[in-house]
């Protein structure tokens, strides 16, 4: 299992995501920090560096997720995170202004650990909305499909 991801594979992941963070819908062109190719199932958990296990992620989502696969929500029960290759974004989240509202336990776990609605992220999203930049048109497919 290699950590190396070829430039060609990076391009495939970036183009498939249309340069949108597949978790929080942030557009790479509005970020000062280059987006990362993220292992949905981390290498340490047996994930591979193959297209079906890779997602485009902003620094913040990837940094908060790390190698985690899920979290404990209630009653000491494990809940997995949203999986961009298996799940539909709109089934687990709703965009309400600058808030990403979880619609399922998977959404709650993902919003919680990725800190999708932390104050700084909300302020940034609100500023983008006020200037007509969020959600980016490239995110429409994730939101509506």
Farthest-apart Cα atoms in the chain, separation:
44
- Average pLDDT over the chain reads 94
CA 43 – CA 49 distance, rounded (Å): 8
- Residue pair 2/12 in contact (Cβ under 8 Å)? The answer is no
Mean pLDDT of 60-74: 96
Q: How high is the pLDDT of residue 4?
A: 79
Could you tell me if residue 2 is inside a domain? no
Quick check: 18 pLDDT over 50? yes
Structural domain including 91 reads 7-144
Could you tell me if residue 83 is inside a domain? yes
Global pTM reads 0.94
Could you tell me if residue 1 is inside a domain? no
- Quick one: what percent of the chain has pLDDT higher than 70? 97
- Residue pair 81/68 in contact (Cβ under 8 Å)? The answer is yes
Residue 48 per-residue DSSP state: -
Could you tell me if residue 43 is inside a domain? yes
Q: How high is the pLDDT of residue 3?
A: 66
CA 136 – CA 27 distance, rounded (Å): 6
Could you tell me if residue 100 is inside a domain? yes
Q: How high is the pLDDT of residue 1?
A: 45
Could you tell me if residue 81 is inside a domain? yes
Mean pLDDT of 33-47: 96
Mean pLDDT of 107-111: 98
Number of domains, the chain: 1
């Amino acid at each position: 299992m290699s950590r190396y991801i070829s430039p060609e594979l990076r391009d495939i992941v970036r183009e498939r995501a249309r340069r949108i963070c597949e978790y929080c819908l942030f557009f790479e062109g509005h970020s000062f920090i280059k987006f990362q190719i993220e292992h949905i199932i981390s290498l340490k958990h047996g994930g591979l560096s193959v297209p079906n296990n890779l997602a485009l992620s902003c620094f913040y989502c990837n940094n908060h997720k790390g190698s985690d696969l899920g979290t404990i929500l209630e009653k000491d029960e494990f809940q997995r995170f949203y999986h961009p290759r298996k799940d539909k974004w709109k089934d687990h989240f709703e965009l309400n202004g600058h808030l990403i509202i979880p619609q399922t336990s998977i959404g709650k776990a993902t919003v919680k650990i990725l800190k999708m609605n932390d104050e700084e992220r909300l302020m940034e999203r609100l500023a983008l909305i006020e200037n007509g930049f969020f959600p980016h048109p490239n995110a429409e497919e994730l939101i509506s499909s």
